[in-house]
Amino acid sequence: MKIHLLRHGETNWNRNKRLQGQRDVPINDTGKRQIEQFCQQTRQDYTLIVTSPLRRAVESAEICSRWFALPSVVEPAFAERTFGDLEGMCKDDICRKFLIEDVEALEATHSVESRTDFQARLELGLERLRSHYPSERILLVTHGSVIRLLLDRMSPNYRGPCAGKTRLSPSFGVVSNGCEVVMDIS
Protein backbone atom coordinates (compact mmCIF):
# COMPACT_ATOMS: atom_id res chain seq x y z
CA MET A 1 0.00 0.00 0.00
CA LYS A 2 1.32 3.41 -0.89
CA ILE A 3 0.16 6.43 1.08
CA HIS A 4 0.67 9.97 -0.12
CA LEU A 5 0.34 12.33 2.85
CA LEU A 6 -1.04 15.72 1.80
CA ARG A 7 -1.21 18.55 4.30
CA HIS A 8 -4.46 20.51 4.01
CA GLY A 9 -4.49 23.95 2.43
CA GLU A 10 -3.66 27.07 4.41
CA THR A 11 -6.11 28.51 6.93
CA ASN A 12 -6.15 31.98 8.43
CA TRP A 13 -4.96 30.39 11.67
CA ASN A 14 -1.95 28.90 9.82
CA ARG A 15 -1.18 32.32 8.44
CA ASN A 16 -1.36 33.85 11.94
CA LYS A 17 0.60 30.94 13.49
CA ARG A 18 -2.27 29.95 15.78
CA LEU A 19 -2.44 26.42 17.10
CA GLN A 20 -5.51 24.80 15.51
CA GLY A 21 -5.55 21.33 16.96
CA GLN A 22 -9.08 19.99 16.57
CA ARG A 23 -10.72 23.37 16.07
CA ASP A 24 -12.74 23.18 12.86
CA VAL A 25 -11.11 25.99 10.88
CA PRO A 26 -11.81 26.31 7.11
CA ILE A 27 -9.14 26.74 4.46
CA ASN A 28 -8.78 30.23 3.02
CA ASP A 29 -8.46 31.31 -0.63
CA THR A 30 -4.69 30.74 -0.54
CA GLY A 31 -5.35 27.22 0.80
CA LYS A 32 -7.76 26.50 -2.04
CA ARG A 33 -5.16 27.65 -4.57
CA GLN A 34 -2.47 25.52 -2.89
CA ILE A 35 -4.57 22.38 -3.21
CA GLU A 36 -5.59 23.17 -6.80
CA GLN A 37 -1.92 23.75 -7.66
CA PHE A 38 -1.01 20.43 -6.03
CA CYS A 39 -3.68 18.67 -8.11
CA GLN A 40 -2.50 20.30 -11.33
CA GLN A 41 1.14 19.38 -10.70
CA THR A 42 0.82 15.85 -9.39
CA ARG A 43 1.54 12.95 -11.70
CA GLN A 44 0.31 10.27 -9.31
CA ASP A 45 -2.41 7.77 -10.09
CA TYR A 46 -4.35 7.67 -6.82
CA THR A 47 -7.13 5.15 -6.39
CA LEU A 48 -8.67 6.50 -3.17
CA ILE A 49 -8.74 9.70 -1.11
CA VAL A 50 -8.87 9.40 2.68
CA THR A 51 -9.35 12.48 4.84
CA SER A 52 -9.35 13.64 8.41
CA PRO A 53 -12.84 14.68 9.55
CA LEU A 54 -11.75 18.26 10.28
CA ARG A 55 -13.13 20.92 7.94
CA ARG A 56 -9.78 22.15 6.57
CA ALA A 57 -8.85 18.60 5.52
CA VAL A 58 -12.33 17.76 4.20
CA GLU A 59 -12.40 20.93 2.08
CA SER A 60 -8.96 20.11 0.70
CA ALA A 61 -10.03 16.50 0.02
CA GLU A 62 -13.17 17.72 -1.79
CA ILE A 63 -11.01 19.74 -4.19
CA CYS A 64 -8.84 16.66 -4.80
CA SER A 65 -11.89 14.44 -5.16
CA ARG A 66 -13.34 16.67 -7.88
CA TRP A 67 -9.98 17.02 -9.64
CA PHE A 68 -9.15 13.29 -9.67
CA ALA A 69 -12.79 12.08 -9.94
CA LEU A 70 -12.32 9.84 -6.90
CA PRO A 71 -14.43 9.21 -3.83
CA SER A 72 -13.16 10.33 -0.44
CA VAL A 73 -13.47 8.40 2.80
CA VAL A 74 -13.36 10.08 6.23
CA GLU A 75 -11.05 8.39 8.73
CA PRO A 76 -11.25 9.97 12.22
CA ALA A 77 -7.91 8.48 13.30
CA PHE A 78 -6.09 11.01 11.11
CA ALA A 79 -7.58 14.12 12.76
CA GLU A 80 -5.06 16.61 14.10
CA ARG A 81 -3.63 16.11 17.57
CA THR A 82 -5.78 17.63 20.29
CA PHE A 83 -4.06 20.61 21.93
CA GLY A 84 -6.85 21.26 24.43
CA ASP A 85 -6.84 24.64 26.19
CA LEU A 86 -3.96 25.86 24.00
CA GLU A 87 -5.93 25.73 20.75
CA GLY A 88 -6.33 29.21 19.33
CA MET A 89 -3.19 30.57 21.00
CA CYS A 90 -0.20 31.78 18.96
CA LYS A 91 2.54 29.15 18.78
CA ASP A 92 5.25 31.67 19.74
CA ASP A 93 3.33 32.57 22.91
CA ILE A 94 2.99 28.89 23.83
CA CYS A 95 6.72 28.29 23.29
CA ARG A 96 7.63 31.28 25.48
CA LYS A 97 5.16 30.33 28.21
CA PHE A 98 6.31 26.71 28.43
CA LEU A 99 9.99 27.35 27.58
CA ILE A 100 9.97 24.96 24.63
CA GLU A 101 11.10 25.29 21.02
CA ASP A 102 8.27 23.31 19.44
CA VAL A 103 4.63 22.84 20.48
CA GLU A 104 4.95 19.17 19.48
CA ALA A 105 7.08 18.74 22.61
CA LEU A 106 4.08 19.37 24.86
CA GLU A 107 2.74 16.39 26.71
CA ALA A 108 -0.55 15.77 28.47
CA THR A 109 -0.93 19.14 30.20
CA HIS A 110 -3.76 21.61 29.56
CA SER A 111 -5.81 18.79 27.97
CA VAL A 112 -3.16 18.18 25.28
CA GLU A 113 -3.38 14.68 23.79
CA SER A 114 -0.26 12.77 24.85
CA ARG A 115 2.17 11.74 22.13
CA THR A 116 1.66 8.12 23.19
CA ASP A 117 -2.12 8.32 22.72
CA PHE A 118 -1.71 10.29 19.48
CA GLN A 119 0.73 7.72 18.13
CA ALA A 120 -1.55 4.83 19.10
CA ARG A 121 -4.49 6.51 17.32
CA LEU A 122 -2.45 6.97 14.13
CA GLU A 123 -1.18 3.39 14.21
CA LEU A 124 -4.75 2.11 14.52
CA GLY A 125 -5.69 4.26 11.54
CA LEU A 126 -2.82 2.84 9.49
CA GLU A 127 -3.86 -0.69 10.44
CA ARG A 128 -7.43 0.03 9.28
CA LEU A 129 -6.12 1.39 5.97
CA ARG A 130 -3.85 -1.63 5.56
CA SER A 131 -6.68 -4.09 6.23
CA HIS A 132 -9.39 -2.32 4.20
CA TYR A 133 -7.31 -1.01 1.27
CA PRO A 134 -4.18 -3.20 0.98
CA SER A 135 -3.50 -2.55 -2.71
CA GLU A 136 -4.72 1.04 -3.01
CA ARG A 137 -2.65 4.10 -3.80
CA ILE A 138 -4.06 6.42 -1.15
CA LEU A 139 -4.00 10.20 -1.00
CA LEU A 140 -4.38 10.91 2.73
CA VAL A 141 -5.37 14.52 3.38
CA THR A 142 -4.39 15.35 6.93
CA HIS A 143 -2.51 17.73 9.24
CA GLY A 144 1.01 18.86 10.07
CA SER A 145 1.30 17.07 13.42
CA VAL A 146 -0.07 13.86 11.92
CA ILE A 147 2.46 13.95 9.10
CA ARG A 148 5.34 14.79 11.41
CA LEU A 149 4.56 11.94 13.80
CA LEU A 150 3.98 9.41 11.03
CA LEU A 151 7.27 10.33 9.40
CA ASP A 152 9.09 10.30 12.71
CA ARG A 153 7.61 7.09 14.09
CA MET A 154 7.44 5.14 10.86
CA SER A 155 11.07 5.79 9.92
CA PRO A 156 13.45 2.82 9.63
CA ASN A 157 14.66 3.51 13.20
CA TYR A 158 11.19 3.01 14.64
CA ARG A 159 10.59 -0.28 16.45
CA GLY A 160 6.82 -0.56 16.37
CA PRO A 161 4.14 -2.40 14.39
CA CYS A 162 5.40 -0.99 11.09
CA ALA A 163 9.13 -1.38 11.78
CA GLY A 164 11.05 -2.32 8.68
CA LYS A 165 8.00 -1.95 6.45
CA THR A 166 8.12 1.76 5.70
CA ARG A 167 10.33 3.80 3.40
CA LEU A 168 10.06 7.56 3.29
CA SER A 169 10.66 9.96 0.46
CA PRO A 170 11.71 12.72 0.14
CA SER A 171 13.72 13.84 3.14
CA PHE A 172 11.48 15.91 5.30
CA GLY A 173 11.20 18.68 7.81
CA VAL A 174 8.05 20.66 8.40
CA VAL A 175 5.58 19.92 5.63
CA SER A 176 4.03 23.08 4.18
CA ASN A 177 0.34 23.49 3.48
CA GLY A 178 -0.63 21.84 0.20
CA CYS A 179 2.55 19.71 0.06
CA GLU A 180 2.84 15.94 -0.17
CA VAL A 181 5.14 13.28 1.31
CA VAL A 182 5.07 9.58 0.34
CA MET A 183 5.07 6.48 2.58
CA ASP A 184 5.30 2.91 1.27
CA ILE A 185 3.77 0.43 3.68
CA SER A 186 4.06 -3.28 2.96
47-95 per-position pLDDT tens digit: 999 999 999 999 999 999 999 999 999 999 999 999 999 999 999 999 8
Q: Which pLDDT score, from 0 to 100, does residue 151 have?
A: 82
Q: Which pLDDT score, from 0 to 100, does residue 158 have?
A: 36
Q: Give the mean pLDDT of 141-162.
A: 70
Confidence bin at 38 (pLDDT 50/70/90): very high
Q: Give the mean pLDDT of 146-163.
A: 61
In tens, the pLDDT along 107-139 reads: 777 789 998 999 999 999 999 999 999 989 999
Exposed / middle / buried, residue 89 (Cβ in 10 Å: 0-12, 13-18, 19+): middle
Beta bridge partners of 140: 5, 50
Confidence bin at 186 (pLDDT 50/70/90): low
Distance between CA atoms of residues 12 and 150, nearest Å = 25
Instruction: Just list the catalytic residues.
Output: 8, 80
Max Cα–Cα distance, the chain, nearest Å? 46
Q: Which pLDDT score, from 0 to 100, does residue 35 have?
A: 97
* Residue 49 dihedral angles phi and psi, to the nearest 5°: -110, 130
Q: What angle do CA 175, 181, 186 make, to 5 degrees?
A: 140
Q: Indicate whether 105 pLDDT > 90.
A: no
Domains and CATH numbers, the chain: 2-81+115-185 (3.40.50.1240)
Q: Which pLDDT score, from 0 to 100, does residue 142 have?
A: 97
In tens, the pLDDT along 156-174 reads: 543 333 333 333 333 335 6
